């Protein structure tokens, strides 16, 4: 439930509203003020009070007692689950009371019935829209709700459709923002001494990690990223982010990761305090697998082993880095990347027609080739890959690639060949070596 306190601005100025707002915050956690809203009968101010999670009766009694102490003798306080209903109820009751603050409560489920007999003007429609509604004979809220939304939108536009939803007590406004969640954290500081050796911080960090992981276990979540915050003797702060391969609330896993990070750290000064703060959370649990897979019983152990490797080692996850080199086997180099960030990288999935993709061998395989001379070039007609000999039925080429005169000279003749089995392969002849190689195939 939310409460709306409607006060006429003719009797309550901004100077009188401000002390009342400060006093109300000692009773309720959140308050929102809407000053100088106008309707056909004057101007008023709305004070929205968040009652969610609060004892309703005791809170309202405390609010009324506070209003009497600050001298508020006019206005109305309404309680409802829908903002527009609470606003209309408070404003309507405020006009009918003169000597005290009136309390109105609209029960959950009765919001539409409450608005139905009221004039459409209580919803504060735009003057142009109000004239159109009057011309169509729509006088009360129930008259508008009897018309379909499509008809209202066609005749009165988007503003009419919005008013139609309000007349049906369909108000999706969020009067109060979602309160930011506080992630688990723990800290410890000391002033009598300063720790210079980082390995001595492991004992302190163990207690902090136990506190944080206990909070995570209670909530059924795991931490993916934490921050170590060191307070130094020179009155500065040193922060170091740490990530895990997957969400976990295990103290032993986090201590192993943090201990490894401490061994790699070089702090600029002695430490007088340390804090451990969780930065990112994730759900716990394993992935759904095939129940008929006999090897699935080892999936958890395999995932745990892989996560440990990712956490302990650096540079085992690599990403391709392409250059402008004309040879494909020298064009791409592999650069190490942080494991956690590599796993978090989004993977683009697009729907496309099936196409053949070139599959390159990590190292071109030397093969034996039978050739014939055709137009001044030696064209392959068979090649032997191990004990198997493949007949070539179609050949395209040669495509000559050469260069590297000042570094490592190369000259190759590339051929695209179709074998008798229907396989499309890529062969080339290394001219300086007079040798043939299988470079890849299309699949």
Q: Express each pLDDT in 245-301 by its tens digit.
A: 788 888 888 888 888 888 888 888 889 999 999 998 887 765 555 555 555 556 666
The order of strands in the sheet holding 237-248 is: 185-189, 271-283, 221-232, 237-248
Query: Which helix (H) or strand (E) is 209 found in, with range?
Result: helix 201-219
Helix, strand and coil content of the chain, in percent to the nearest 5, comes to 35, 35, 30
Inform me whether the pLDDT recorded for 219 exceeds 50: yes
Look up the pTM and report it: 0.46
Segment 398-438, tens digit of pLDDT = 888 888 777 778 888 999 999 888 889 989 989 888 889 99
Inform me whether the pLDDT recorded for 347 exceeds 60: no
Buried b (16+ CB within 10 A) or exposed e, 70-91: eebebbbbbbbbbbbbbbbbbb
Structure token digits, residue 372: 């014939």
Inform me whether the pLDDT recorded for 346 exceeds 60: no
According to the model, what pLDDT value does residue 86 have? Answer: 87
Q: pLDDT category, 356, cuts 50, 70, 90?
A: confident
Contact between 2 and 12 (Cβ < 8 Å): no
The percentage of residues in the chain with a pLDDT greater than 70, rounded to a whole number, is 82
Query: Which helix (H) or strand (E) is 415 found in, with range?
Result: strand 410-419
Contact between 114 and 89 (Cβ < 8 Å): yes
Per DSSP, 183 falls in state P
Structure token digits, residue 351: 């729907």
CA–CA separation, 51 and 55 (whole Å): 8
According to the model, what pLDDT value does residue 349 have? Answer: 47
What number of CA atoms fall less than 13 Å from residue 413's CA on the CB side? Answer: 16
Topology annotation, domain 185-283: Dna Ligase; domain 1 (3.30.1490)
3-state secondary structure of 99: coil
CA–CA separation, 33 and 46 (whole Å): 6
Q: pLDDT category, 10, cuts 50, 70, 90?
A: low
Cis peptide before 398 (omega within 30 of 0): yes
Look at phi and psi of residue 391 and say left if phi exceeds 0, alpha if psi is from -120 to 50, else beta.
beta
Inform me whether the pLDDT recorded for 343 exceeds 80: no
Beta-bridged to residue 102, according to DSSP, are 76
2-108: in CATH 3.30.70: yes
Report the mean per-residue pLDDT for the chain: 81
According to the model, what pLDDT value does residue 297 have? Answer: 57
According to the model, what pLDDT value does residue 230 have? Answer: 92
Length of the chain, in residues: 443
Inform me whether the pLDDT recorded for 186 exceeds 70: yes
Task: Average the pLDDT over 179-185 and give the result.
Answer: 80
CB atoms within 10 A of CB 16: 13
3-state secondary structure of 189: strand
Inform me whether the pLDDT recorded for 105 exceeds 80: yes
CA distances from 258 to 200, 206, 226 (A): 13, 9, 10
Inform me whether the pLDDT recorded for 98 exceeds 60: no
Task: Average the pLDDT over 127-151 and give the result.
Answer: 89
Segment 287-310, tens digit of pLDDT = 555 555 555 556 666 666 766 666
What residues contact residue 103 under an 8 Å CB cut-off, 6+ apart? Answer: 60, 64, 76, 77, 78, 79
CA–CA separation, 415 and 429 (whole Å): 9
Parse the chain into domains and list their residue ranges. 2-108, 185-283, 358-442
CA–CA separation, 268 and 25 (whole Å): 44
CA–CA separation, 289 and 349 (whole Å): 22
CA–CA separation, 246 and 303 (whole Å): 9
Segment 68-87, tens digit of pLDDT = 887 777 778 888 888 888 88
According to the model, what pLDDT value does residue 48 have? Answer: 85
Inform me whether the pLDDT recorded for 441 exceeds 80: yes
According to the model, what pLDDT value does residue 417 have? Answer: 92
Structure token digits, residue 262: 């401490």
Dihedral pair phi/psi, residue 384, rounded to 5°? -115, 120
Task: Average the pLDDT over 56-60 and give the result.
Answer: 86
Q: pLDDT category, 38, cuts 50, 70, 90?
A: low
């Amino acid at each position: 439930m939310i409460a709306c306190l409607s006060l006429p601005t003719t009797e309550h100025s901004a100077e009188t509203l401000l002390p009342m707002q400060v006093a109300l915050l000692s009773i309720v956690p959140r308050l929102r003020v809407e000053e100088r809203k106008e309707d056909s009968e004057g101007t008023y101010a709305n004070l929205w009070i968040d009652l969610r999670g609060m004892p309703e009766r005791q809170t309202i009694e405390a609010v009324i007692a506070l209003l009497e102490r600050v001298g508020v003798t006019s206005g109305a306080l309404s309680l409802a689950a829908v903002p527009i209903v609470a606003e209309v109820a408070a404003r309507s009751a405020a006009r009918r009371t003169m000597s005290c603050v009136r309390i109105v409560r609209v029960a959950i489920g009765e919001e539409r019935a409450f608005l139905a007999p009221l004039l459409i003007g209580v919803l504060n429609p735009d003057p142009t829209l109000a004239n159109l509604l009057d011309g169509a004979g729509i006088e009360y809220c129930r008259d508008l709700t009897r018309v379909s939304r499509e008809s209202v939108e066609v005749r009165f536009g988007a503003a009419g459709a919005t008013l139609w939803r309000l007349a049906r007590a369909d108000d999706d406004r969020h009067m109060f923002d979602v309160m930011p969640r506080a992630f688990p954290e723990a800290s410890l500081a000391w002033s009598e001494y300063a720790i210079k050796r980082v390995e001595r911080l492991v004992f302190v960090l163990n207690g902090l990690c136990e506190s944080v992981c206990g909070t995570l276990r209670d909530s059924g979540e795991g931490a993916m990223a934490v921050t170590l915050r060191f307070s130094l003797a020179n009155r500065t702060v040193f922060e170091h982010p740490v990530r895990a391969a997957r969400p976990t609330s295990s103290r032993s896993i986090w201590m192993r990761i943090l201990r490894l990070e401490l061994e790699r750290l070089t702090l600029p000064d002695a430490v007088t305090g340390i804090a451990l703060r969780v930065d990112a959370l994730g759900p716990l649990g394993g992935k759904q697998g095939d129940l008929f897979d006999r090897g699935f019983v080892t999936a958890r152990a395999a995932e745990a082993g892989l996560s440990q490797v990712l956490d302990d080692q650096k540079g085992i996850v690599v990403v391709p880095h392409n250059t402008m080199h004309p040879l494909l086997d020298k064009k791409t180099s592999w650069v190490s990347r942080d494991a956690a960030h590599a796993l978090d990288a989004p993977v683009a999935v697009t729907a496309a027609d099936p196409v053949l993709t070139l599959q390159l061998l990590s190292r071109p395989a030397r093969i034996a080739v039978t050739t014939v001379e055709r137009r001044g070039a030696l064209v392959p007609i068979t090649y032997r890959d191990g004990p198997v000999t493949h007949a070539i039925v179609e050949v395209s080429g040669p495509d000559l690639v050469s260069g590297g005169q000042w570094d490592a000279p190369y000259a190759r003749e590339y051929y695209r060949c179709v074998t008798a089995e229907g396989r499309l392969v890529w062969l080339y002849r290394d001219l300086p070596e007079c040798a043939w190689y299988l470079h890849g195939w299309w699949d």
